[in-house]
Amino acid sequence: MRAELHTHTLLSDGELLPIELARRAVVKGTKYLAFTDHVSLSNLERVVAEGRRDAELAEEWGMKVLAGVEVTHVPVRRIDEVVLKARRLGAELVVVHGETLSEPVEKGTNMAAVLNPEVDILAHPGLITLEEAQLARDNGVALEITSRSSHCKANGHVARMAQQAGAPMVVNTDAHGPDDLIDLPTALQLALAAGLTREEADRALIEVPKAIIKRRWRG
């Protein structure tokens, strides 16, 4: 039973409508899905409102779908403001675009994310520090192991920091199109390749996503 909590649609830079992506995901065996399009103050209202409509529609297929956001390239001192506004507008899942090695994310973004308990997932956090991983543990922020080719280079480092700190991990695709979606066996291989034990992989693939969904699910 696959959970995918980081995806993009035509509401930002993805290839498909939210409902189209949901259909592709359910065929891959995905039971729990989140739309997490890129947001800042310019597009929060539109992304949350439109995502919620297709999230509700996709539940006709027996999925649980969360209308979420990925707070992306926001100035560090304004991240908390955007996260709070996203929640007030009804965002059910909040991801923060971490300090990936492949993009010029402002230094301090990882720290701002892990200090905020309203953040659910710190995506592709690059060379995250042990201190940041410990704060993620303390505040219930899951650290992402990603299959996206532009962001996965630091997976092993992220896994080591999370292991040392005891921080929760999740495995996501950061899907921007249908070909990015993966099934559960592939997700398991990705987790093991990052250095997780089988027990840690099961937690990252099943237990941590379920805990996030239980905390945020509107139903």
pLDDT attached to residue 124: 98
- Are the C-beta atoms of residues 143 and 113 closer than 8 Å to each other? no
| Distance in angstroms (rounded) separating the CA atoms of residues 105 and 86 | 20
Q: The tokens of 172 are what?
A: 């996501």
pTM given for the model: 0.97
The domain total for the chain is 1
Amino acid 217: pLDDT: 78
CATH number of the domain within which 88 lies: 3.20.20.140
Instruction: Compute CA 177 distance to the chain's CA centroid, rounded to the nearest angstrom.
Output: 15
For the chain, residues with pLDDT lower than 70 are 1, 218-219
CB 173 within 8 A of CB 180: yes
Q: Among 40, 45, 36, which Cα is nearest to 70's?
A: 36
Q: Residue 159 is part of which domain span?
A: 2-216
